[in-house]
């Protein structure tokens, strides 16, 4: 019997327009997969209900197609079926690993150490846990599913082997403490949802930005508790804005929608992505197939190590900066 095909996924979040940093990651994911003969799946991560924008799901699909990115099969839309996530939470609860958390953010902040400088994350300390033993079922009332549930995470090193950046070690218990795995909105938190989705889509390789490198350790831990294997990790160095912050949807002029509306050619976006990733030494328009031809595990690994040490910055202010170049 032949081995099951390796599989990766594209997972846009419809909380706003995709930007050039997203394009960079999705192009690298797609090109690596097609170069290596992997399957490419599309997942629309729409569980952050308070941030989902009307029309953003279709806009994400349109942006990917504009860049000539394709995928295999029908997209998975997370909100269409919550049953797999409920089953995962029930499985964790059955092992006595989760507890309901009704603590306010101010209570957690006052009891915890200083939040991380980058993302404002506050560690949930063990002294705030309720007395054990914890209920080994979520409960039958709908109100039980509209509450925050946390996973017990004790301090312990968690080794992450990244295919691009090499081995890393994290300690989720010290960095984040007990993780929220279910939210009062009645949906899973990101860390649980991504583990469940990667398992049910048989994803073997995850390519994403290195801002999620620490999350890999947390997701490995959750996967182990659920008795499932985690994917191989490929974390790409991010691109930053001139403000020193990672490029995000707040940088409106960098959005693919804005570039498309301004009649920017997709070849210029693809060429900029190749240059900012370190695959080429000069900005030059490229087609998607040209980008694919230069993308391999070896080329991405070499480029990632260079740009991790010297991150790319998107210059949208200089007359000869990146934004001006994209507009030709």
For residue 182, what are its two tokens?
């279910």
The domain spans of the chain are 7-78+237-326, 83-197
- Whether pLDDT at 246 is above 50: yes
Residue 118 confidence (pLDDT): 45
What residue has token string 């097609």?
Answer: 34
In terms of DSSP H, where are the helices of 37-187? 56-66, 83-94, 105-111, 142-145, 172-175
- Domain 83-197 fold is Rossmann fold (3.40.50)
SS3 category, 158: strand
Provide the angle, in degrees to the nearest 10, between the axes of the packed helices 83-94 and 190-200: 110
pLDDT tens, position by position, 11-31: 998 777 789 999 999 999 999
Residues 6+ apart with CB under 8 A from 202: 4, 7
Give the tokens for residue 295: 């993308």
The candidate with the shortest Cα–Cα distance to 232, out of 64, 9, 24, 21, is 9
Average pLDDT over residues 196-223: 97
For the whole model, what pTM was predicted?
A: 0.93
**What tokens were used for 209?**
């930005």
- CATH 3.30.980.10 assigned to domain 7-78+237-326? The reply is no
Q: Omega before 133 cis (within 30°)?
A: yes
| Tokens matching residue 163 | 């295919």
pLDDT for 137-190, tens place per residue?
998 888 999 999 999 999 999 999 999 999 999 999 999 999 999 999 999 999
């Amino acid at each position: 019997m032949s081995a099951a095909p390796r599989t990766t996924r594209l997972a846009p979040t419809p909380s706003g327009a995709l930007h050039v940093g997203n394009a960079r990651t999705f192009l690298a994911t797609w090109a690596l997969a097609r170069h290596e003969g992997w399957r490419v799946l599309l997942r629309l991560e729409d569980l952050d209900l308070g941030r989902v924008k009307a029309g953003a799901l279709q806009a994400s699909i349109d942006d990917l197609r504009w860049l000539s990115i394709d995928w295999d099969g029908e997209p998975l839309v997370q909100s269409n079926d919550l049953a797999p996530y409920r089953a995962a939470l029930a499985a964790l609860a059955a092992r006595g690993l989760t507890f309901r958390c009704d603590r306010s953010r101010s209570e957690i902040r006052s009891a915890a150490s200083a939040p991380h400088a980058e993302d404002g994350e506050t560690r949930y300390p063990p002294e705030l846990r309720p007395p054990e033993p914890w209920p080994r079922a979520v409960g039958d009332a709908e109100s039980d599913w509209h509450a925050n549930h946390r996973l017990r995470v004790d301090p312990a090193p968690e080794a992450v082997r990244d295919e691009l950046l090499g081995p890393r070690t994290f300690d989720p218990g010290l960095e984040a403490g007990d993780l929220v795995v279910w939210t009062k909105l009645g949906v899973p938190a990101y860390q649980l949802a991504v583990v469940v989705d990667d398992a049910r889509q048989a994803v073997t390789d995850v390519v994403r930005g290195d801002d999620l490198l620490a999350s890999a350790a947390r997701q490995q831990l959750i996967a182990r508790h659920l008795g499932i294997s985690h994917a191989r990790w490929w974390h790409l160095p991010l691109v930053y804005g001139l403000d020193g912050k990672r490029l995000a949807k707040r940088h409106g002029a960098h959005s693919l929608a804005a570039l498309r509306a301004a009649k920017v050619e997709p070849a210029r976006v693809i060429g900029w992505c190749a240059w900012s990733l370190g695959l080429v030494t000069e900005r030059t328009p490229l087609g998607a197939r040209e980008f694919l031809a230069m993308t391999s595990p070896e080329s991405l690994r070499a480029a990632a190590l260079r740009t991790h040490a010297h991150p790319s910055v998107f210059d949208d202010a200089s007359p000869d900066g990146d934004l001006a170049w994209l507009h030709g």
